[in-house]
Structure 1
Amino acid sequence: MTLKGMVNGTRHMLGRYVGKWFYDKGIPFDAANSPYFPPIVNAIQSAGPEVKPPTAYELSGPILDEEVEEVRNWIEEYKQSWPRTGITLMSDGWLNKVSIKEFHNFLA
């Protein structure tokens, strides 16, 4: 088998595993267009087989806490420009009780 054939075969298997995860969890296919999707694949490839994926606890606890802190820091940085630009950040959210989904709007 050629190198190109091996790469295509590996990519196909990657697609199958990613697809199974998307299908099992009902992840919208559009999530593959997220700018965060290619970096996660690259990070997994770089980490190698000995690195275990994060647990549900880690994702819902310490990792989520870090992401929240990052957003808070970004907002604080952004607030520094408000006196110069006259712009403020507002948010609004609601729950769609039919499909049990939360919606959030952020306005500047």
Structure 2
Amino acid sequence: MLGRYIGKWFYDKEIPFDAANSPYFLPIVNAIQRVRPAVKPPTAYELSGPILDEEVEEVRKWIEEYKQSWPRTGITLMSDGWLNKVSKKEFVNFLAYSSKDSGGGGR
């Protein structure tokens, strides 16, 4: 039954199916399986506000760690754009490549 609810959420919000392969997906499913009825899910405000702010700060710190190696290792900035022919949505990706070994598990 949980799969049906998760599926409906994926379909309703156009979440890419590959999101189920995220290393963060199984831990959230495990957490859902452990919670008690009194636990409430985060609101859209919490997801778009304080929770998002915490994630942004974590990424900001991670980027700063990489920036420190750029004078020594160099950096290549890249961009790529494409149009999804089914949904007619345009995408632009910006990437920064550095040879620094992340040790961060593929973030």
TM-score, reference length from structure 2: 0.69
Secondary structure at the counterpart of residue 104 of structure 1: strand
Misfit runs of 4+, over 6 Å: none
Unaligned runs of 5+ in 2: 98-107
Larger C-alpha radius of gyration, 1 or 2?
A: 1
Unaligned runs of 5+ in 1: 1-12
- 1:76 and 2:86 aligned: no
Identical pairs, percent? 68
2:35 and 2:22 map into 1 onto residues whose CA distance is: 21
Pick 1 or 2: higher relative contact order, CA cutoff 8 A, min separation 6.
Answer: 2
The count of corresponding residues between Structure 1 and Structure 2 is: 95
> Could you say which residue in structure 2 is the equivalent of 1:54?
42
2:63 and 2:27 map into 1 onto residues whose CA distance is: 23
* Residues 1-108 of structure 1 aligned to structure 2 (within 5 Å): 13-84=1-72, 86-88=73-75, 90=77, 92=79, 99-108=88-97
TM-score, reference length from structure 1: 0.69
User: Residues 22-79 of structure 1, C-alpha deviation per residue, up to 9 Å, x if partnerless?
Assistant: 1222222222112221111122223332111110101111111111100110011122
